[in-house]
């Protein structure tokens, strides 16, 4: 991907306003003297102060005490949910003015570059858990707009497990490790999670997503994002639209295979974060298009679902997604803790032109996020931490508190005042002050849920109907895996019974092999389908895919040619050989080996290419892992290419995604066919 022309950070003049602000807080220790926190030069940093070389240590050693005290307090509480995450900086630009729908300034002018920071996360695991577990992914974006920070705190799935925030602590308690023994880590495959599901049937639709391959993203760069809730756009005239937000990855939406994710959790627990970091470091900037679905206020009740219900999607075939802009992530953090760990998102951080709805899940979130930061970040001044600072100036009468950084001048810290001419002064809406949407609301105070929220199964069935055969197969296997870990037989049965309300075929298939009685009824909760829900219908591109090139000394001349073809197409090829160092071609050429077979694994790559040359092949065979490597890639449905004798190492010579260049065959079409096989992502017919 060539982003050189579109990168506003390419040179100093083009740094975003947020980059410039952060620079003021960035310290480079390179080449500097070692000091205490008081700025005193330190002469000794290895030996504490003692009486004699073997003697007791002295309290007087203030540098030792300061160093140790700081170390003792290095940890802050991890996020209660979404503890494991990874973030990057970037920028957003709108394609066309959205002024007919919203007055949000960052959505008016295509030439305006809005800095962003995005944090991707898993939900259930602790901070040190593996990246590739089966879980929902967080997709939280902070837009540093000229009107203040706007946070879009979404997920990679468009619905949620529950309809009312009141249930969130229960749901999270159920999915987290069980409290008596803190097992299992970062997994929903246990009794309490499934016990929650069967007793809270509103979760059925989200469970379908969670059991689908959406839970196993190949990369944060290949993951959709959703605002989940229905929000409101309000334009200058005060006219409102209900709106749902989408991020569509330019590389398409792609997933790993379950077996692969489990192996990756051990081989490279940082698989997703490493992928994002490496892509940005190498200039392959991840891009996401921003889309909105909009419903005019008058049409609120025109649908067969309640548009405020967060367990429902708005099918894209009925309410199209209008693509309105693009976000590019182009800078890694300087310091994980200072930026990714300390960033504080909040769905209540909005700008004029964006407002809330009465979705009861969203309403509860509006309380939770600031509250959680108070204990996580140690007080009410977390907005002053550099990553959280808005680029718009901040002036108000809030004062003091733990870790206050701002030095507010003058005697006035109240409104209204005469001494400071009644400043800081409120700004009227017509001059950009935030005004809440004047929605008319009436009703009795009740603790109840609207009947329009009570259909829990139709869209779960619609999701199932929209899947390809392979996706259905993966969903069934996921249920069977998860329920296979559930100890209580009655819970397994209750799950089968529950999903019989969604689709009897689904429930029957789940029931096979988990020791339960299949459903006695037949039928489906819906005959509808939405093709946009299937990942089979996504964008397919070979860009940035990683190919393992298996080669040894004596590889034939075709290899360098194919490698340059791949490189030109933006595919990353890395040589894997029995030993690190360099390998020599049969007649000419030399290649650097990036991985020895000992350290590499097929799960770390998207595809495999086996070099030609009898010598190369026999050298590869000196390492028994070679054949397993190729076989595993085959079992994970990955494209496999082979040149001449290299084909002898393949478990199968034909089949979807297997591309072979026979001896003396023209190489260009081979390279082309291999790249098309890579773009296709996986070759699922091998499973059928």
**Residues near ligand HDE, by CB under 6 A:** 79-82, 85, 119, 121, 138, 140, 153-155, 160, 165, 168, 228, 343-345, 361, 364-365, 368-369, 372
User: Which residue number, 80 or 265, has a Cβ lying nearer to ligand HDE?
Assistant: 80
Q: Which is nearer to ligand HDE, 124 or 257 (CB)?
A: 124
Containing H/E element for 155? strand 148-155
Taking alpha carbons only, the member of 144, 139, 138, 113 closest to residue 123 is: 138
134 marked ligand binding residue: no
Pairing of strands 137-145, 322-331: unpaired
> Phi and psi (nearest 5°) for 367?
-85, -45
The residue (of 79 and 681) whose beta carbon lies closer to ligand HDE is 79
State the Cα–Cα distance between residues 142 and 148, nearest whole angstrom.
10
Min dist CB 336 to ligand HDE, Å, is 13
Q: Which of 82, 254, 349, 683 is catalytic?
A: 82
Query: What number of CA atoms fall less than 13 Å from residue 382's CA on the CB side?
Result: 21
Please identify, using beta-carbon distances, which residue of 165 and 495 lies nearer to ligand HDE.
Answer: 165
Q: How far is the CB of 173 from ligand HDE (least distance, A)?
A: 12
Residue number with the smallest Cβ distance to ligand HDE: 138
Give yes or no for a contact between 543 and 514, defined as CB atoms under 8 angstroms apart. no
Whether 325 and 112 have beta carbons less than 8 Å apart is answered as no
Question: Are 18 and 89 spatial neighbours (Cβ–Cβ below 8 Å)?
Answer: yes
Does the annotation list 369 as a binding residue? yes
Binding site annotation covers 84? no
Least Cβ distance, residue 244 to ligand HDE (angstroms): 11
Q: State the nearest-atom distance from the C-beta of 345 to ligand HDE, in Å.
A: 4
Beta bridge partners of 87: 119
| Residue number, 372 or 530, with CB nearest to ligand HDE | 372
Q: Rounded CA gap, 379 and 42, in Å?
A: 32
Residue 376, marked binder: yes
Report the nearest approach of ligand HDE to the CB of residue 116 (Å).
Answer: 13
Residue closer to ligand HDE, measured from CB, 154 or 641: 154
- Is there a contact between 499 and 510 (Cβ–Cβ < 8 Å)? yes
365 is in an annotated binding site: yes
Measured in residues, the chain has a length of 688
Cα torsion 559, 561, 562, 567 to 10°: value is 120
CB 641 within 8 A of CB 503: no
Q: How far is the CB of 152 from ligand HDE (least distance, A)?
A: 9
Catalytic residue among 155, 330, 388, 465: 155
Measured torsion, CA atoms of residues 244, 245, 249, 254, in degrees rounded to the nearest 10: -50
- Please give the structure tokens belonging to residue 351: 């700008």
Burial 358-392 (b: 16+ CB within 10 A, else e): ebbbbeebeebbeebbeebbeebbbbebbbbbbbe
- Please say which residue, 141 or 526, places its beta carbon nearer to ligand HDE: 141
- Least distance to ligand HDE, CB of residue 382, Å: 10
Measured over the CA atoms of residue 176, residue 178, residue 179 and residue 181, the dihedral's sign is: negative
Is 79 assigned a ligand-binding role in the annotation?
A: yes
Distance, in Å, from the CA atom of 29 to the CA atom of 598, rounded to the nearest integer, reads: 37
456 is catalytic: no
- Residue 595 falls in the annotated catalytic set: no
Residue 631's Cβ-side half-sphere holds a number of Cα atoms within 13 Å equal to 6
Annotated binding site for heme: 79, 119, 168, 365, 369, 376
- Residues annotated in a binding site: 79, 119, 168, 365, 369, 376
For the annotated catalytic residues, the residue numbers are 82, 155
């Amino acid at each position: 991907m060539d982003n050189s022309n579109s990168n506003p950070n390419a040179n100093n003049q083009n740094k975003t306003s947020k980059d410039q602000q952060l620079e003021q807080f960035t310290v480079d220790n390179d080449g500097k003297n070692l000091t205490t926190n008081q700025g005193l030069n330190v002469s000794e940093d290895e030996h504490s102060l003692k009486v004699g070389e073997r003697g007791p240590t002295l309290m007087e050693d203030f540098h030792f005490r300061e160093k140790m005290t700081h170390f003792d307090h290095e940890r802050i509480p991890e996020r209660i949910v979404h503890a494991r995450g990874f973030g990057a900086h970037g920028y957003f630009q709108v394609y066309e003015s959205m002024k007919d729908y919203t007055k949000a300034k960052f959505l008016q002018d295509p030439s305006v570059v809005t800095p962003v920071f995005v944090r991707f996360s898993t939900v259930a695991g602790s901070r040190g858990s593996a990246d590739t577990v089966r879980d929902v992914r967080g997709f939280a974006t902070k837009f540093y707009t000229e009107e203040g920070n706007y946070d879009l705190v979404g997920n990679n799935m468009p619905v949620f497990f529950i309809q009312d925030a009141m249930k969130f602590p229960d749901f999270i308690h159920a999915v987290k490790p069980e409290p008596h023994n803190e097992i299992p880590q970062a997994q929903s495959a246990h009794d309490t999670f499934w016990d929650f599901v069967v007793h809270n049937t509103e979760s059925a639709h989200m469970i379908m997503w969670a059991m689908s391959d959406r839970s196993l993203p190949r990369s944060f760069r290949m993951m959709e994002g959703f605002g989940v809730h229905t929000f409101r756009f309000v334009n200058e005239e005060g006219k409102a639209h209900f709106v749902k937000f989408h991020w569509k990855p330019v590389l398409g939406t792609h997933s790993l295979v379950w077996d692969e994710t489990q192996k990756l959790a051990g081989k490279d627990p940082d698989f997703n974060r490493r992928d994002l970091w490496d892509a940005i470091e190498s200039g392959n900037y991840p891009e996401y298009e921003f889309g909105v679905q909009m419903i005019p206020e008058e049409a609120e009740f025109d649908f067969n679902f309640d548009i405020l219900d967060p367990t429902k999607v708005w099918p894209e075939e009925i309410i199209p997604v209008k693509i309105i802009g693009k976000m590019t992530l182009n800078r890694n953090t300087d310091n994980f803790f200072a930026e990714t760990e300390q960033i504080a998102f909040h769905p209540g951080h909005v700008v004029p032109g964006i407002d809330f709805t009465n979705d009861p899940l969203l309403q509860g979130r509006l309380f939770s996020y600031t509250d959680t930061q108070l204990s996580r970040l140690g007080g009410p001044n977390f907005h002053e931490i550099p990553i959280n600072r808005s680029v718009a100036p901040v002036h108000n009468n809030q004062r003091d508190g733990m870790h206050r950084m701002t030095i507010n001048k003058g005697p006035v810290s109240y409104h209204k005042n005469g001494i400071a001419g009644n400043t800081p002064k409120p700004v009227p809406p017509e001059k950009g002050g935030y005004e809440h949407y004047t929605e008319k609301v009436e009703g009795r105070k009740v603790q109840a849920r609207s009947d329009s929220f009570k259909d829990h199964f139709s869209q779960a069935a619609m999701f199932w109907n929209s899947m390809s055969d392979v996706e259905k197969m993966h969903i069934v296997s996921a249920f069977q895996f998860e329920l296979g870990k559930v100890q209580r037989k009655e819970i397994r049965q209750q799950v089968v019974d529950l999903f019989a309300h969604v689709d009897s075929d689904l429930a029957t298939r789940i029931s096979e092999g988990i020791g339960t009685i299949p459903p006695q009824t037949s039928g489906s909760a819906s005959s509808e389908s939405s093709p946009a829900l299937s990942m089979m219908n996504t964008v397919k591109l070979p860009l940035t895919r990683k190919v393992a090139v298996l080669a040894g000394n004596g590889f034939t001349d075709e290899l360098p040619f194919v490698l340059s073809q791949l490189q030109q197409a933006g595919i990353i090829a890395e040589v894997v050989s029995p030993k690190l160092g360099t390998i020599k071609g049969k007649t000419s050429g030399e290649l650097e080996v990036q991985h020895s077979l000992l350290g590499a694994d097929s799960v770390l790559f998207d595809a495999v290419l086996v070099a030609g040359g009898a010598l190369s092949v026999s050298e590869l065979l000196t390492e028994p892992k070679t054949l397993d490597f190729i076989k595993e890639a085959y079992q994970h449905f990955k494209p496999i290419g082979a040149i001449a004798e290299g084909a002898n190492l393949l478990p199968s010579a034909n089949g979807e995604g297997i591309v072979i260049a026979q001896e003396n065959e023209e190489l260009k079409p081979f390279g082309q066919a291999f790249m098309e096989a890579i773009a296709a992502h996986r070759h699922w017919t091998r499973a059928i």
